[in-house]
Amino acid sequence: MKIALAGNPNSGKTTLFNGLTGSNQYVGNWPGVTVEKKEGKLLADKSITLTDLPGIYSLSPYTNEEIVARNYLINEHPDVIINIVDATNLERNLYLTTQLREIGIPVVVALNMMDVVRKQGTFICIKSLEEAYGCPFVEISALRSEGFTDLLNKVYSVKGTEPQKRLIFDHHIEEHVNELENTLGDLNYKRYYAVRLLENDQRLGIEVSKETLETAERVRKELEGIFDDDIESIFATERYEYIEKSMKTCHKCGVKKTFNPDKILMNKYLALPIFAFVMFCVYYISVTTIGTIATDWVNDVLIGEIIIPGAQNLLASIGTSEWLIALITDGVIGGVGAVLGFLPQLALLFFLLSLLEDSGYMARIAFLLDKIFRKFGLSGKSFIPILIGTGCSVPGIMASRTIESESDRKMTVITTSFMPCSAKLPVIAMISGAMFGGASWVAPSAYFIGIVAILISGLILKKTKPFKSEEAPFIMELPAYHMPKASNVFKHTWERVRSFAVKAGTVIFVACIVIWLLSNFNFAFEMVDSNESMLADIGSVIAPVFKPLGFGTWEASVATLTGLAAKENIVGTFGVLYGTAEVAEDGMEIWANLQQAFTPLSAYCFLIFNLLCAPCIGALGAIKREIGKGKIAVFALTYQTIFAYIVTFIMYNVGKVFF
Residues making contact with ligand GDP (CB under 6 A):
7, 9-15, 27-29, 33-34, 55, 112-113, 115-116, 141-143, 485
In our burial notation (b when 16+ CB lie closer than 10 A, e otherwise), range 70-97 reads bbbbbeeebbbbbbbbbbbebeebbbbb
Give the containing element (helix H, strand E) for 190.
helix 190-198
Question: Segment contacting Mg ion (CB under 5 A): 27-35, 166-174, 261-269, 504-512?
Answer: 27-35
Shortest Å distance, C-beta 29 to ligand GDP: 3
344 contacts which partner out of ligand GDP, Mg ion, none, CB within 5 to 8 A by kind?
none
| Partner in contact with 341, chosen from Mg ion, ligand GDP, none, beta carbon below 5 to 8 Å by kind | none
In terms of CB distance, is 117 or 605 closer to ligand GDP?
117
| Nearest distance, CB of residue 484 and ligand GDP, angstroms | 8
From the list ligand GDP, Mg ion, none, pick the one residue 85 interacts with, judged by a Cβ distance below 5 to 8 Å according to partner type: none
Query: Mind giving me the DSSP string for 312-353?
Result: HHHHHHTT--HHHHHIIIIIIIHHHHHHHTTHHHHHHHHHHH
CB of 54 to Mg ion, least distance (A): 8
3-class secondary structure, 30 = coil
Q: Does 88 bind Mg ion (CB under 5 A)?
A: no
CB of 33 to Mg ion, least distance (A): 5
- As measured in angstroms, the least distance from the Cβ of 84 to ligand GDP is 7
Question: Residue 29 or 422: which CB sits closer to ligand GDP?
Answer: 29
Give me the least distance between CB of 149 and Mg ion, in Å please.
23
Shortest approach of Mg ion to residue 568 CB, angstroms?
Answer: 34
Q: Could you tell which of ligand GDP, Mg ion, none binds residue 113, using a CB distance below 5 to 8 A set by kind?
A: ligand GDP
Q: How far is the CB of 261 from Mg ion (least distance, A)?
A: 24
What does the DSSP 8-state code read for residue 229?
S
Q: Which is nearer to ligand GDP, 358 or 585 (CB)?
A: 358
CB-based burial label for 494 (10 Å; 0-12, 13-18, 19+):
middle
Give which of ligand GDP, Mg ion, none residue 15 binds (C-beta under 5 to 8 Å, depending on kind).
ligand GDP
Nearer to Mg ion among residue 88 and residue 553 (C-beta): 88
Separation of alpha carbons 181 and 195, rounded Å:
9
> Residue 363 CB, nearest distance to Mg ion (Å)?
14
CB of 19 or CB of 420, closer to ligand GDP: 19
Q: Which is nearer to Mg ion, 68 or 617 (CB)?
A: 68
3-state secondary structure of 141: strand
Q: CB-wise, 146 or 179, nearer to ligand GDP?
A: 146
* In the complex, residue closest to ligand GDP by CB: 12
Decide: is 112 part of the binding site for Mg ion (CB under 5 A).
no
The pairing of beta strand 38-41 with beta strand 49-52: antiparallel
Q: Assess contact for 418 and 431: CB atoms under 8 A.
A: no
CB closer to ligand GDP out of 115 and 229: 115
CA distance 621 to 19: 33
Tell me the window of 9-17, 313-321, 466-474, 614-622 that interacts with Mg ion (CB under 5 A). 9-17
Q: Which residue's CB is nearer to ligand GDP, number 54 or number 563? A: 54
Residue 88 contact, options Mg ion, ligand GDP, none, Cβ 5-8 Å cut-off depending on partner type: none
Q: Which amino acid is at 74?
A: I
Interface with Mg ion, residue 455, by CB under 5 A: no
> Under the criterion CB under 5 A, does residue 60 sit at the interface with Mg ion?
no
- Does the CA dihedral 508-512-518-519 come out positive or negative? positive
Give dist(CA 606, CA 651) in Å, integer.
11
Min CB(68)–ligand GDP separation in Å? 14
Write the DSSP symbol of residue 614. Answer: S
Task: Report the partner that residue 390 touches, choosing among Mg ion, ligand GDP, none (CB closer than 5 to 8 A by kind).
Answer: none
Pick one of 20, 33, 167, 294: the residue that binds Mg ion (CB under 5 A).
33
Q: How far apart are CA 322 and CA 543, in angstroms?
A: 32
- From 8, 11, 21, 34, residue interacting with Mg ion (rule: CB under 5 A): 34
- Least distance (Å) between residue 115 CB and ligand GDP: 5
Q: Name which of 401, 424, 419 is nearest 455 in CA terms.
A: 419
Rounded Cα–Cα distance for residues 598 and 576 (Å):
17
Q: Compare residues 29 and 299 and give the one whose CB is closer to ligand GDP.
A: 29
Q: Which does 37 bind (CB under 5 to 8 A by kind): Mg ion, ligand GDP, none?
A: none
* β-bridge pairing 137-139 and 107-112: parallel
Angle at 93 between CA 88 and CA 95, to 5 degrees: 150
**DSSP secondary structure string, 565-586?**
T-THHHHHHHHHHHS-S---TT
Residues making up the chain, counted from first to last: 659
Q: By C-beta, is 18 or 520 nearer to ligand GDP? A: 18
Shortest separation between residue 495's beta carbon and ligand GDP, angstroms: 14
The residue (of 142 and 177) whose beta carbon lies closer to ligand GDP is 142
Interaction partner, residue 602 (Mg ion, ligand GDP, none; CB < 5-8 Å by kind): none
The size of the interface with Mg ion (CB under 5 A), counted in residues, is: 3
Q: Which is nearer to ligand GDP, 12 or 341 (CB)?
A: 12
Give DSSP secondary structure letters for 467-523.
G--PPPP-----PPP-PPPHHHHHHHHHHHHHHHHHHIIIIIHHHHHHHHHHHHB-T
Q: Are strands 107-112 and 38-41 parallel, antiparallel or unpaired?
A: unpaired
- Taking the C-alpha atoms of 291, 296, 301 and 307 in order, what is their torsion angle to the nearest 10 degrees? 80
Question: DSSP class of residue 42?
Answer: -
Q: Which of ligand GDP, Mg ion, none does residue 141 bind (CB under 5 to 8 Å by kind)?
A: ligand GDP
- What is the closest distance, in whole angstroms, from the C-beta atom of residue 24 to Mg ion in the complex? 12
**What are the residues whose beta carbons fall under 8 Å from the beta carbon of 559, sequence distance 6 or more?**
569, 570, 573, 574, 577, 610
Q: Output the smallest distance, CB 479 to ligand GDP, in A.
A: 6
- What are the φ and ψ backbone dihedral angles of 521, each rounded to 5 degrees? -125, 155
- Which stretch, 31-39, 229-237, 337-345, 558-566, contacts Mg ion (CB under 5 A)? 31-39
Q: Please check whether residue 21 is in contact with residue 45, taking contact to mean a CB–CB distance below 8 angstroms.
A: no
Rg, Å, the chain Cα set: 29
Binding of Mg ion by 29 (CB under 5 A): no
14 lies in the binding site for Mg ion (CB under 5 A): yes
Contact 50, 14 (CB under 8 A): no
The residues binding Mg ion (CB under 5 A) are 14, 33-34
